[in-house]
Structure 1
Amino acid sequence: MALGFLGAGNMGEAMIRGLLSAKLRSPEQVVVYDAAPGRGEDLRRRFGVVAARSVEDLLGSCDTVVVAVKPQVLPSVLSGISRDAARGKTFVSIVAGAKIALFEKALGEGAKVVRSMPNTPVLVGMGSTGIYFPPVVDAATRQEVLALFSSLGTVAEMPREELLDAVTALSGSGPAYAFLFIEALADGAVRAGMGRAEASLLAASTLEGAARMVRETGKHPAELKDMVMSPGGTTAAGVAALERGAFRATVMDAVLSAWQRCRELSG
C-alpha cells in the first residue's frame, strides 16, 4: 500500500522530497491530499506523486497516513474522517502539540496512532525526529515508522508522550534558531569586510562541521569548545562577547518559550 500525506505544507513537502530522494518510496507510492486548492496537483506535477481527490480517496489508497495539517485545523480534519475509514489504518502525527488522545477520541480504537516531530532538514536527509509509540502499537508498525523516519535522518524514541513537546521546542523549532545563528555569523564576517557569499558558505559549513564533531567524537560540547579556545586568543574574545550578551541563557529561554507554546497548543 502507498504512504499517504494528509496535509502537505512546508513540513509535509520536505518529508515527501526526503523520502523520494532516499528512495524509500517511489512517486506512485506516495499519495497526497491537501485542502488548499491546487496544492495536490502542484505536488503531483513537481514530484510525480498521486494527488487524492478527497480524504476518503487518500484513506482508501493507504494503510499509513502522515497527518501534517496545522494544529488549528486538526479537530475539523479529524471530524471529517469516519471510524470505519480509519479502522486498521496507522496515523503518524507530526502536528505540534496534538495529543494522541485527540486522535483516539475522533478515530476510535480501530486506528493506530503514533506521535512524532520531525524537522525541515529531512529535506536533505539530515532530519531529527522524536517519536512516541503508545503501548498498543505493535512491533511491525513500530519498525515501519522507524524505518520511515530513519531514512530521513536521526531518530530518537521518547519514553513518554509529553516529551514530544520538548522535542518540538528543541529539534522541531531548532533549525530556525540555527539559521538565525548562521545569518548572524555571516553578518559578523561581512561587517569585518568579507563578501556575503563567502561569509554565508563558511558560516553554514562551520556549523555543520561543529555538529558532526559532537556526534562523531562523543565528546561533551564544552570539551570541544575548550579545544578551540586557546588562552588569550581570538576565540576566547569571541566567547566572552557571547557571554556578555547572555548567549546561552537566551538560547535556553528560546527553547523554553517554544516548549510553553507547544503546551498551550495541546490544551
Structure 2
Amino acid sequence: MSETEATDPKVLLGHHLKKLKLPTILAEYDKQARQCAEQGIDHPRYLLRLVELELIERQRRNVERRIRAAKFPASKSLDSFEFKALPDLNKVLVLELARCEFVIRRENIIALGPSGTGKTHLAIGLGLAACQKGMTVGFVTAAGLVNQLAEARDEKRLMRLQASLAKLQLLIIDELGYVPLSQTGAELLFEVISQRYERGSTIVTSNLAFEDWTSVFGSERLTGALLDRLTHHVHILEMNGDSYRLKQSKARQASHGR
C-alpha cells in the first residue's frame, strides 16, 4: 500500500473490511450510505442495515457450502414433489418432517416403495431442508457407500471415514436393495448404521419391503439387528404407486408425437 493509499479512508476501510472478511459490507456500504442519506436514516440504522445484509449473505453462502458438501445427485426440493401422484403418502407427515425436528431428536426415516415413485426426490428434499436449517448432511447410495467403506478399509483409513459419517447430523442412504451386498459389505454398512444409532438421523430409501431385506444382507441375524436400530425411532413413508417417472416419459413421448 502506497503512502497516499494509506491515508485514503476508503482504501483503508476496504483493506480493513477484507481483513475482517466482511465482503458484503465492503460491496454495499457506499450505496447504502447514499440511500440512507436520501431517506433520512440515522447512523445506527444504517449500520444495522449493513450488518443484516452481511449476515443474510453469509447464511446463504453457508447453505450453499452445506449443499455442496452433501453431494446430492440433483437439486430437488419438496416444492416440486408430486404428492398427487401418491395419494396414500402422508403429506402432512412429510411437511412436518421438512421442519427437520426429527434430526434434532435423532430419529430415522425409511421410505419404501417401487422404483420411480419419488423416494430419492423426497430424500433429497428433506436433505436440502436440513441444509437450509444449518445441519450437516451427506447423501450416498447404499452400493456407493459400501464401495467407499471397502476402499477405505483397504487403504487403512476406515476409522477416519466412519468417524466422518458418524458426525453427520443427517445421513441419506439411497437405493438400498437394488444391489445385493457381499457379507463384508453388509457388515460394513451395518457398522455405519450401528454407530449412528441414537447419535444421528438416517434416511434410508428402499424398493424392498422389510421382510425382503435379508436378500440384500444375506443374514437374518444381521438384518434383524440392523432393523432393530433403524426402526427404534423411525418414521416410515409408504410410497406405493405407479412410477411417475414412467408417466412423465409417456407424456413427453405423446407430446412429441403430435
**TM-score scaled by length of structure 1:** 0.32
**Structure of greater relative contact order (alpha carbons < 8 Å, 6+ residues apart):** 2
Larger radius of gyration: 2
**TM-score scaled by length of structure 2:** 0.33
